[in-house]
Chains A and B, each alone.
Chain A
Amino acid sequence: MNARNLLDRVTRVPGVRGALLVAATDGLVVAEHLMDGVDGRAAAALAGSLVGRLARTAREAGYQRPSFVHLKAEAGSVLAAPGSDDLVLVAVVAPDANLGLARLEMIDAASRLG
């Protein structure tokens, strides 16, 4: 499955405003499928940095690399599912999004990366 198809699967989930593939180490966008108003480059850089920090926190706590991250905010959420290699699948979702379905789709899609 190519990157475009993976992103399409995620963005079909109700409430998902956009999804992108990010290179975690440098925070660059590899592929994106975003609604208007979502700053893809900012999302990529910020999500990449935060996921990296959380991965280090998890390692210090004796856990392996995270399989899923959910940053919840007042007006929506940022979801991230690290894949193999250096890629992270990131989605920006509305507050009323189907988070359960988005989570499952992203974990499955991330497992197909690389």
Chain B
Amino acid sequence: MSDDIRALTARLADEPSSLAFLELAEALRRRGQLDAAAKVARGGVSRYPGLADAHDLLARILSDMGDLAGAFDAWTSALQLDPMRAAALKGVGFLYFRAGDVIAALDHLQRAGQADPDDPSIPLAIARVRTDVRQQGAPRANGAPAPSAPPPRPPATPFEGIEGGEEGFLLVDGNGLRLSGSLRVPSGEEAGDRVAAQLAGVSREAARATRILGLGSWHSIAVESPEGHLYLAAPTADTVLLAACDHSLPVARVGLLAERAARSARAWLEGMG
């Protein structure tokens, strides 16, 4: 028994009601002592049934053990307690993928991406699921083994996998020309080029305003109107990203989506060379 596991075991013995079980079970899992890890985690879950961390940990251990049904149940319990828990959403998404339910897999992975936009593994996982679907032609049968991580296809647009990415984002250059994305007005008409033209120079104008007012460089512009929200960000010094959404989404949430789209656009532009 390693020193850290011995110390954690002693701590848990001294204080059975402490949360030391989380560290102990995780340490055991990492050492490959999965039966012992599961026993400790189950004890923690029974003592703290309202602790999402405990269910999440048990799910990861069960997943490592190959008990996918048990892992699914544990992650589902974690999500009942914390619906936007990214790790659990990723886990359930992976299990749906394994089971061949691509739609549910993508749904969970996209929600995971919203919950943790900084986790780079999530867009990769989404791309992997989509690539697999294209290669296989249809979702795989329940229980079939996962593919051996084919390299993700470079996305055709920067907005794949982002909520509203089909017709809610525009990437515009400094001269008001559309680089990517599309925008449909509420009446259904495509308005990407007209909107892009209005954005020519907006980045320079915003930069000038914030500089003269002593506010440093600009970060974003949120525009609220009765019908919906616009949100502008600058993926690079020469481009502007615009996100548009109806008023069913709070403007702060539109901002989170736009920030994520801006990061994706930056990577896409770098990939274009």
Q: Are B209 and A47 in contact (CB under 8 A)?
A: yes
**Interfacial chain B residues near A37, Cβ < 8 Å:** 214
Interface residue count on the A side (C-beta < 8 Å): 34
Interface residue count on the B side (C-beta < 8 Å): 37
Is B133's CB within 8 Å of the partner chain A? no
Q: Is the interface of A mostly helix, strand, loop or mixed?
A: mixed
A75 to B185, CA, bound (A): 34
Which partner residue on chain B sits nearest A43 by CB separation?
Answer: B213
Which segment of B20-28, B103-111, B200-208, B260-268 sits at the interface? B200-208
A77 to B197, CA, bound (A): 25
Q: Are B217 and A73 in contact (CB under 8 A)?
A: yes
Q: Are A42 and B213 in contact (CB under 8 A)?
A: yes
B266 to chain A, nearest CB (A): 18
Query: Which residues 205-238 of B have a CB within 8 angstroms of A?
Result: 205-206, 208-210, 212-228, 230
Is B244's CB within 8 Å of the partner chain A? yes
Q: Assuming the A-B contacts A50-B205, A62-B227, are A75 and B195 also in contact, with contact meaning beta carbons closer than 8 angstroms in the complex?
A: no
Q: Assuming the A-B contacts A54-B223, A61-B195, are A75 and B216 also in contact, with contact meaning beta carbons closer than 8 angstroms in the complex?
A: yes
The chain B residues found within 8 Å of chain A, CB to CB, are 183, 185-187, 189, 191, 194-195, 197-199, 202, 205-206, 208-210, 212-228, 230, 242, 244
Which 10 interchain pairs have the tightest Cβ spacing?
A62-B185, A74-B216, A46-B209, A73-B215, A73-B210, A57-B198, A63-B225, A68-B224, A70-B222, A75-B216
What are 11 A-B contacts defined by CB distance under 8 Å?
A42-B212, A46-B209, A49-B205, A50-B202, A53-B205, A60-B195, A64-B227, A66-B225, A74-B210, A74-B216, A78-B210
